[in-house]
Structures are given as structure tokens and as C-alpha cells.
Amino acid sequence: MPFINTTQYITDIDLSFCEYQLARVLPFTVIDPSDEKLKETPLPNAKYYITGGLYEKKGQKIRHSERIGRIGGDYALSVNPERLKPLPLYYKYVRRCFQRHSSGNLMKYPFIPGRSLYLGHWMGHYGHFITEFLSHLWCIDQLSEIDQIVVLPFLFDERKVVVKSWHKTLLQRLGLSHIDIVVLDKQYILDQVVVPEQGWIVNQTVNRQIKLVYEKITLSRAESNQKGLYFLSRKQEHYKRLANLAEIEAVFERHNFKIVFPENLSMSEQLDIYSSASCLASTSGTGLHNSVFAKSSALIIELGDMRNRQKTLPMQRGATELLNQKHFFIPYQGSSNGVLDVSLLEIELKTILAEKEVV
């Protein structure tokens, strides 16, 4: 039952953002691992090799536009080239506002006018959205006159940008619901674009500045009377890493936890629970990452499962360290087929709650 109180993943290095004129888009693609081009340069093994990012008008790569991946259990490694080839008659092309020109050498790339905010790859996976994607928005209060948000697709949702209801709620809480989202699925040229540095690198570091993002999301909620202890569960048929969720839920209920199924609630209802809870408990994984919306005084209890038997996930460590929350990890103790020993869980849970005097 280790209590985790280090700051292994937190960094205080100042984040930055830069603005570029006439930046060029390298679209998102997934490269077959057997592609001969990948053999030209030694690369770490990865399940997916991807492209996608922005380049300055002369072809240099904009480094903050490139996703950093393949750390820990992350699947995707960016293999963007360092430079893009110059476009024929590029500057004349731009000055003419992309109107027809007599020159047959003129390349007519699509043009996105106005001032864009680049937020990297759109994350259709909830856990990746509330961590790495939202971490680009640490500077949102420093920006004005944004005409559109521009994003690249990613591996989720069949490699398409699908805007879900919870996406809309979270962006609305950040004051961005009125801004159009433009998908960079072509070799666009961007009139003006702001590129913020990513504040949460998957399985590596979490910058303390991004705490402002989660504070903004929870401060904009209506006042709620909900308080207490919550166990975030899920339907057994959707969860294979523990085989006796009903028994686990019963243990938490005996200790006055309310059993919550986030998938059955709206995002606003979920935020009311997370932001007012004195204790959040769940199995290792995405559900418990919602601790980023909880108070710093909240107690976080993480249950090990068949995937993470003896130690917490780096992403969860980053979440609780960012909020300076008390974080307990209960190692998996059970059978080889995922049946957790609930009698041992009862003892561990009782000890934690007594020690921390959670009510």
C-alpha cells in the first residue's frame, strides 16, 4: 500500500509559444514499418511510425508542432523530415493571395487565412485528450483574436477527427466553443499560426504551468453540493483487466463510497463529481486520470490490475503530482485470471481511510 509523494514527473521549465507566418503543413500519415525509407535512418522500434506537423515558410521544421511519442508504452513515433523542399514561386504565390497566376509552375496549395491556433493531433481517446491535448492550452488566456483552431488527425477514430460531446464541453469550459476546428488533412499553408509548446509529454514530464488549464475548466462550473467519496467503475463487459468488479464495488460501498459509471454521465455531471470529491478511487487507467479535475486536497486511490500489478502508471503519477494530491496505490493481489482478493482489498482500504481520516 505505498503512499506516493514524490515529484518525479513534474517540471517547472517555462513553456513558450511562437507565431509564424505562411507556415506549411505536413499532413498526418501512418507509414508502414516495412517502408524502405525508414531503413535509411536507425529508429527505435514502434508500433506506428507517423508524420504530421508544421514547417516554416523556408522549409525548416517547427519543433513544437511535432508530437513526442514512443516513451514508455506509447505506440507512435513521429518521423517527420527535418526540412521540406521549397515550393516553386512560393512568395509570389502568397503575395497574389493564391489567385490564379499565368505561370504553369505555380503550385496552388490550399490556404487558411487569418490567425490559427495549432493544437497538434486531435485526440479522440479521452485519456489522451485530457492530458497531452489539453496541455497545449496553457497559454489560452495570453492569446486573442484567434480565427480558428487547427489540428491534425491521429490514430483514434479510424484516423479521423471526430468531435464528441465531451470534447465540446471541455472546450466550452475553456471559452473555445465558438471557434471553428479546421482539420489539416492537406498540405495547407497557414496565413498566421500560433504554436504552443506541449506541456504534458506522455509517460515523461508534466509542466506545472498546465495546472491552469484544469483550474479554468473546474472554476467555470456551477456550484455543486456533491461531496464525498467516489469509486469510478465501468461495466464488466468492457473491462478485462479485473474479473470481479461487482465484488470490488461492494467493498467500496461498505466504506461509504458512491459507485459512479462515468460513461453514463454527461461531461458536466462528471466534472461536478470530480471537482467536489474528497476522495476518488478507481483501477489504473484513463478513469482515474480525471483526478486532474479534483481538488489538491482530494485523496486518490489507485487499484492495481492485471496490467499494472505492482506500480502506478506514469500518466497517473503525473496527474496526481501536478495537483500535489495524496496518492495511494494498492498492488494487485489475486488470481492469474483477474479475480482480485477482496478480503485483502478491504484491509488495505480500511487502513488508508483511517490513516487519512477521510469522511
pLDDT, tens digit, for every residue of 16-64? 999 999 999 999 999 988 787 777 777 888 899 999 999 998 899 999 9
The per-residue pLDDT for 105 is: 42
pLDDT at position 238 is 80
Q: What is the pLDDT of residue 103?
A: 44
CA distance 66 to 50: 10
Q: Which CATH superfamily is domain 221-356 in?
A: NAD(P)-binding Rossmann-like Domain (3.40.50.720)
Start-end ranges of CATH 3.40.50.720 in the chain? 221-356
pTM (predicted TM-score): 0.90
Q: What is the pLDDT of residue 101?
A: 40
How is residue 37 written as a grid cell? Answer: 525509407
Q: What is the pLDDT of residues 265-294, one digit of tens each?
A: 999 999 999 999 999 999 999 999 999 999
- Cβ–Cβ < 8 Å for 184, 148: no
What are the residue ranges in the chain where pLDDT is below 50? 98-107, 221-223, 359
Q: What is the pLDDT of residue 258?
A: 97
d(CA 239, CA 251): 18
Can you say how many angstroms the Cα of residue 212 is from the centroid of all Cα atoms in its chain?
15
